[in-house]
Amino acid sequence: MADETNRNLDREALLFHITGRPGKIEIAATKPLTTQRDLSLAYSPGVAAPCLAIQRDPSTAYDYTAKGNMVAIISNGTAVLGLGDLGALASKPVMEGKAVLFKKFADVDGIDLEVDTHDVDEFVNCVRYLGPTFGGINLEDIKAPECFIIEQRLRALMDIPVFHDDQHGTAIIAAAGLINALDLSGRDIGDAKMVVNGAGAAAIACVELVKAMGMRSANVTLCDSKGVVHRGRSDLNQWKSAHAIDTEARSLQDAMHGADVFLGLSVKGAVTAEMVAAMAPQPIIFAMANPDPEITPEDVLSVRDDAIIATGRSDYPNQINNVLGFPYIFRGALDVRARTINDEMKIAAARAIAALAREDVPDEVAAAYSGRRLRYGRDYIIPVPFDPRLIAAISPAVAEAAMRSGVARKPIIDITGYRRELSARLDPTAASLQALSAQVINNPKRVAFAEGEEEKMIRAALSYRNAGYGTPILIGRTDKIAATMAAMGLGGLEGMEIQNAKLSTQTKPYTDYLYGRLQRQGYLYRDVQRLVNSDRNVFAASMVMLQDADAMVTGTIRHFHSCLSDITKVIDQTPGELVFSVTLLIARGRTVFIADTNVHEAPSAQELADIAIQTAALARRMGHEPRVALLSYSTFGAPLGRTPDRSRQAVALLEERKVEFEFDGEIGVHVALDPDLLTLYPFCRLSAPANVLIMPGLHSANISSKLMQKMGGASTIGPVLMGLSRPCQIVPMDATVSDIVHMATLAAAEAGR
């Protein structure tokens, strides 16, 4: 089953990378290039002015170019993700992935560069001349010991940060976890005894960092594949010999006796239960080998119920994950134009991460772990990767350390303001979606994929299953679904379910229920029976209504309104709410909620007010503080007309209801989204550009959202169906597999909520 799951994941990953524009990154212009004047400013002749300014003062390159927000992600592919030496070209998907993480988590622009050489001198000579282009260098997936030499030489040659994440990123996150584990077990770092198994780049970086933080050299025992690294060995390179100690211990088993801390960066199964049993009281065990740890938490707990355990895996508590560090470390370093990333900055990052784990966990993060309390303790010593507070906690700490240690070239005067700026820099939607995904993984749901014979639905159902979100239920004929899967070369049906309406034992209860709803609307029993047997939307909605499924998703072969008509035959709207849809537009790190994009052709003032209230609540659930604009072609009475009247009346209704969010209208979209234009209306209630746009009619909402998606380069989520008493989502007919999975996950999360 595990092998089949891995094969399915491989197929999904290949489809993910090849679909649409190949790869995961592109270049986007930050300035308009639509007129001749734009071109003359961006290129010749206007570009000469910043060129000459930089020649006069090289530091202005940070002001006139993107240098200050660009990091080169550089590898020769000699140690790729535990896969070994794949070569420079084969490492490119990993480096692109790293660029995506930089952008997503810290708004840093990463450019991947794959250097096709194993020769250290050639590699160094290639990279050293890239300094004028980038604000920092992130070395990645370079094997030891070459990675030590390359980093050391480049740091000496370049005046921008050079950071090998495989070494220092791992060390910083592990150190953060260790700070809290020592605290919880009542230990002092100066007295603790630690055993490190594995003597590669990451392990040695961990040893060096914890020693810089105060752990005594004599208390750290390093082990490699030949046993303890002691001073009697003659086979040690300079990096291992720097950490050799005088000891009688010769094996890992010897070293583990009485140890307070075990830190593993080696191989699966390196540690036995007997070794754990021989450790000191309240042992701290960081088994970080990937994908399988040196010892599983279950095996540790079978002999020691007092242990504090961390791994590199997301399916156990306390994941040591580098994404907690490198984006935010570079963010802080870039913002003060640091010359390097030194030990003071690494320690500051580790302490900031550790401190964040001791704070109250926000609702959006806690919700992702339904059934588990995220509170500082043995099972929560490290923040989770999608915690939105990470950037405002780590980057300022790194920046301040750079200033204190004298490597910052542009000090930040107002550090409090800097924290606020960082908090606002990233769109919280990404963190919210990750939190929803984690929530569903922790509370899996059964989701009915109504159009179960369609290729896209089948692929989406497989992705839903493989992601661990729960059980997908395909509505359709088994032979047809199996034939489609075989033709696509997809895996088996394990962990999935197929429901054929004509053969289901639930057809009669569904028919009886639906007849009770529709008998006074002109339907005979046989009419309802035909609906249940032949309409997959009706069947899937009946499954959800009678709790044979938790949620449903449909829409790839029928228009939204047809699907909604089918579903509402079965499922009522939530009392006191309106049924409508919201489309999320995401562009350049900013999310705007647009409503109603699919249901109400010309909503009344009352309906506009209801839509505003429900959409504002959705925005809050997604991590945004709603600022609602009731849109029109008119802005505060100029010009007058019947359509603006409805928006004005809706504003009056919101005032009467004393809602707890910012709102105003009627207002033009150009004003609602432009902070400079908003200043022309000092009486406007919106303190900043709107992020919730309530459209005056279906035509404007539907056209604008689709136009932005097709022409404006915006990504979309939705339309998200609101107001039904059971979780159902309808995707557009042109939805991708990823779109369907997103909507299924949203429906599953709503079922859990």
Cα distance between residue 450 and residue 631, in whole Å: 35
Cα distance between residue 47 and residue 52, in whole Å: 9
**Length of the chain, in residues:** 753
* Dihedral, CA of residue 489, residue 715, residue 450 and residue 539, to nearest 10: 170
In the block, which residue shows the tokens 């969010």? 661
* Dihedral, CA of residue 361, residue 365, residue 370 and residue 372, to nearest 10: -40
Check if 469 is active-site: no
- Which residue among 67, 98, 456, 569 is the active-site one? 98
> Which residues neighbour 624 within 8 Å (Cβ) at sequence distance 6 or greater?
428, 429, 591, 593, 691
Cα distance between residue 326 and residue 98, in whole Å: 10
Cα distance between residue 355 and residue 324, in whole Å: 13
* 632 token code pair: 């029109």
Residue 312 backbone phi and psi in degrees, to 5:
-95, 5
Which of 692, 684, 695, 673 shows the shortest CA–CA distance to 627? 692
* First-last CA distance in the chain: 31
Cα distance between residue 540 and residue 557, in whole Å: 15
* 294 token code pair: 């040196």
Residue pair 195/261 in contact by the 8 Å Cβ criterion = yes
> Which residues neighbour 582 within 8 Å (Cβ) at sequence distance 6 or greater?
593, 594, 595, 596, 597, 615, 618, 718, 719, 720, 722
Q: Sort 713 into a burial class: Cβ within 10 Å, 0-12 / 13-18 / 19+.
A: exposed
> Which residues neighbour 363 within 8 Å (Cβ) at sequence distance 6 or greater?
none
Which of 650, 640, 657, 651 shows the shortest CA–CA distance to 605? 650
> Which residues neighbour 59 within 8 Å (Cβ) at sequence distance 6 or greater?
337, 409
State the angle between helix axes of 165-184 and 326-335 in degrees (0 to 180), rounded to the nearest 10: 110
Cα distance between residue 741 and residue 149, in whole Å: 45
SS3 assignment, position 428? helix
Check if 43 is active-site: yes
Residue pair 697/603 in contact by the 8 Å Cβ criterion = yes
Angstrom CA distances, 198 to 56, 194, 228, 417, stand at: 50, 13, 10, 43
Q: Order of strands, edge to edge, in the sheet holding 627-631?
A: 662-667, 627-631, 692-694, 590-595, 580-587, 715-722
Residue pair 344/401 in contact by the 8 Å Cβ criterion = yes
Letter for the amino acid at 168? H
- b/e sequence 86-111, b meaning 16+ C-beta within 10 Å: bebeebbbbbbbbbebbbbbbbbbbb
Q: Where are the alpha helices (DSSP H) in 86-164?
A: 92-106, 120-128, 146-157
Residue pair 139/153 in contact by the 8 Å Cβ criterion = no
Cα distance between residue 592 and residue 124, in whole Å: 45
Query: CA quadruple 239, 245, 249, 252: dihedral positive or negative?
Result: negative
* 707 token code pair: 């136009």
- What residues are labeled active site? 43, 98
